[in-house]
Structure 1
Amino acid sequence: MSPDAIAGIRARLPEVAECVVDAVVEEVPSYAHAFDGSMGATIRRAVEMALAGFLSLASGGADGRTTPTAPAVDGSYQLGRGEARSGRSIAALLSAFRVGARVAWRQMSTPLVEAGAEPEALVDFAELVFAYIDELSAAAAAGHTDELTTAGQARQRLLERVVRHLVAGHGREVVLSAARTAGWQPPQSLTAVLLPEDRVRDAVAALPAGTLQSTDAVDGLEGLEGLEGIALVLVPDLHDERRAVLLRLAARHAATVGQATPWLDVRRSVDRAVRARRLGLGPDTDAHLPELVLSSDPVALEDLRRQVLAPLEGQRPATRERLLETLRAWLVHLGRRDDVARALVVHPQTVRYRMTRLRELYGDLLDDPRQVLCLTVALGLPGGGDAGEAESGQMDQCMPPSTLSTSPVT
């Protein structure tokens, strides 16, 4: 391209830059007020730098290069990062580049036409303009993406810090400070959810805003042997219908859902979910409260079973099993002989005979409310005392202590 043509374009460079800015403000809504203040000055400088870099490229003054110089590319990259920090979308940024390319071509091609440039030269010039803009817009898009990624990763680290404080049970002020730093608004309650790490992305996408997630926090809990590869998610304000929705989601993602707790007490929900997962219970821990209660101290439960079932130790295995089966059904049905007979599929007289034998073995202990409670707890899980399982499902629906203490075992 002739030096005279380049000189003509260079003389109009400030005017071209102004036209580009005006067109972007008018045609891209996100930039209606973007050129006010310090950010506007930064964008104007970036436009002028890009145009100057293009002229250097077009005149062959950049060592014969056909791509933008490093300063122009870096300027566009930094512009993209700044636009991301300003909250403007990548679509708005690329739209601004397209508008700028069109206006710049129109403004810079005019001197060429006035100088009598051949059509072939105009075509080459147009190709150079749009190839140059493509390079700069790609650099700006990369800067925009990198800024969002970096900011997102930084915030995720801050949110994971909130999770660690919550799981560790740190004080209110410590957790609140971490929440403010992360820009996280504490809810009324939190529910702990454990699920495989490879399911987290899909699950979190369907969960409410404000959901916290972390894999590191789970690794810090004690007693997690066998739970490698499990992630922790803390879901805000899950009650009624929202919990029902989560449970359906949990079933699809092999998750375990703890109870809803006040948000600062979420460690209790985490502990329950961990215990339920170790026991291999279903996704809803609220549906397995008897198992969770009875398994909270397995050694104590075994000691209790040995203690309250000691009177049966001298019986033959088959007899012992029948007596335990009858005793379990008697406790479940509150001593109603006909109901016990139907549950065991035996004659009521058989129930009478077996209960007579049990009273011979236990004596007055079967009239003691405390002993009745101990027997109910000892036989409250399937396999308790090696009893038959005919009534195990019913025993899992534990009766309150007030009921247990008045069971008419007579």
Structure 2
Amino acid sequence: MTRRFPRRSTSPAITLSADIVDRLHGLLPRVGEDVVAAIIAEVPSYQDALAGPMGGTIRTAVGVALGGFLSIASGQGAESVPATPEALEGAYELGRGEARSGRTTEALLAAYRIGARVAWRELSSEAVAAGLPPEALVEFAALVFAWIDEVSDASVAGHGDELATTGRVRQRLLERLVRQLLNGATTEVLDDAVERAGWPPPTTLTAALVPPSQVSSVLALVSQDTLVLEDQSAADDATLLFVPDAHGHSRAVLLRTVEGRGAVVGPAKPWREARTSYDRAVRVREAGWGEDTEAHLVPLVLGADPEARADLRASVLAPLSELRPATAEKLTETLRCWLLHHGRRDDVAAALFVHPQTVRYRMGQLRELYGDLLDDPETVLALTVALG
């Protein structure tokens, strides 16, 4: 496929004679090897890279680039300078390969600068020896370095495109991993998804539901391995983040990070059980209870099955069912305070804003209605849960 690249003007100010071009063509294999050797010596990230298959690719790219340069310099490609398809395509693919190898554009451009220096030194010496007038060296230098700029631009474009493509692919794999976590996938499926995405599994994951407008600022302050899913319908208009290893002291840091941002943070759970953290965060967010789900464990437990709790409440309050509603309400609240304050009469009175004698009277009524059941541990537990 032919690609279009941003162009620099490389129309030659000079045209090399056929004799000079022939001499330079014969020099190209040696120049290519010298360029590669100089890159190995001067750019640390290339010291081991040029020995294997990638080394062959780079040597080929150098040869194609130099050959394309001579084609331009000889005037053969003067009308088609903006195309130079072989050299530019080779440089583009070289940039993509360098991105896949993990090398930066800085390293890539350093290699080009070194290559330009070596190529200019050797080609200019040979060109002069072959009859190029010394006064033409300035134009020759401009042609060499303009050509290097051209092919390096193509390589940078390839490097950027590869990173963008790789990033999109990895993001899709990470989103798939999040969905598998939410859907309760098996250990084998999750481990395979982790390997495919190249994601380092942590000890725990913590769900955070964050308003979309706050996601970027939160992501800037948490682990770069945080998983993100934007379109999880159960979270309404919130974006789901799964933050790695935000347990122990790190939880306080995460809570400070989201403070005031309208987020909800679930509990830290073993990473394969992250769905539990998400579910809890959703429940607290729907209830509007605040940022930290772990500050609301009692209401979460009591509200886990509202219908069952209503049935339990009706069952344990059955002895009050024959009373007038106002009386039943007063005794119910007194019984609740009595349970919560472990029967301490003064504390119960203070909580109800009544006289301790009133508490004594009401508890007498309750003991008449419940009998020995108020001393039965199972009944006390049922009453505590129902009235908590």
Q: TM-score under structure 2 normalisation?
A: 0.83
Query: Which of 52, 67, 86 in structure 1 is aligned with 2:67?
Result: 52
Number of the residue aligned with 1:355: 363
Match of 1:107 among 101, 122, 147: 122
Superposed, 1:108-123 pairs within 5 Å as 108-114=123-129, 115=131, 117=133, 119=135, 121-123=136-138
Counterpart check, 1:260 vs 2:268: yes
Question: Superposition pairs for residues 223-238 of structure 1, below 5 Å?
Answer: 224=234, 227-238=235-246
Counterpart of 1:38 in structure 2 is 53
SS at structure 1 position matched to 2:310: helix
Distance in 1, matches of 2:132 and 2:112, equals 28
Aligned length: 371
Task: Give 1:366 shift.
Answer: 4.3
Alignment partner of 1:298 is 2:313: no
For residues 11 and 285 of structure 1, what CA distance do their matches in structure 2 show?
74
Alignment check: 8 A CA contact 1:312 1:361 kept: no
Alignment of 1:192-231 (within 5 A): 192-208=207-223, 210-215=225-230, 218-219=232-233, 224=234, 227-231=235-239
1:66 to partner: Cα distance: 4.2
Give the Å deviation of 1:235. 3.3
1:13-71 CA deviation, whole Å, 9 max, x = no partner?
Answer: 23332332222222212222332132212111111111111111122211424446121
2:361, 2:38 → 1: CA distance?
Answer: 99
Q: 1:285 aligns with which of 289, 293, 297?
A: 293
3-state SS of 1:232 partner = strand
1:64 is aligned to 2:72: no
TM-superposed CA distance for 1:304, in Å, is 3.7
Give the 5 Å matches for 1:334-345.
334-345=342-353
SS of corresponding position for 1:64: helix
SS of alignment partner, residue 259 of structure 2: helix
The percent identity for this pair of structures is: 55
Structure 1 SS opposite 2:79: coil
Write the mapping of 1:8-407 to structure 2, written as runs, cut at 5 A.
8-67=23-82, 69-114=84-129, 115=131, 117=133, 119=135, 121-208=136-223, 210-215=225-230, 218-219=232-233, 224=234, 227-309=235-317, 311=320, 315=324, 317=326, 322-359=330-367, 366-380=374-388
Unaligned runs of 5+ in 1: 381-410
Distance of 2:82 and 2:122 partners within structure 1:
21
The verdict on how the C-alpha distance between 1:288 and 1:345 changes in structure 2, with shifts beyond 3 A counting, is same
Letter in 1 for 2:183: A
For residues 376 and 54 of structure 2, what CA distance do their matches in structure 1 show?
82
Query: C-alpha offsets along residues 181-201 of structure 1, whole Å, 9 cap, x if unaligned?
Result: 333444443333332344444
- Is contact 2:20–2:132 with CA below 8 Å preserved after alignment? no
Structure of higher RCO (CA pairs closer than 8 Å, 6+ residues apart): 2
Contact 2:16 2:73 in 1 (8 A): no
**Structure 1 residue identity aligned to 2:303:** S
Give distance in 1, aligned partners of 2:167 and 2:68: 33
The alignment partner of 2:87 has SS state of: helix
Gaps of 5+ in 2: 1-14
Query: In the TM superposition, what is the alpha-carbon distance from 1:80 to its structure 2 partner?
Result: 0.8
1:12 counterpart SS class: helix
Instruction: Tell me, yes or no, if the aligned pair for 2:268 and 2:277 is still in contact at 8 Å.
Output: yes
Deviates more, 1:186-195 or 1:270-279: 186-195
On the 8 A contact 2:208/2:281 being kept in 1, the answer is: yes
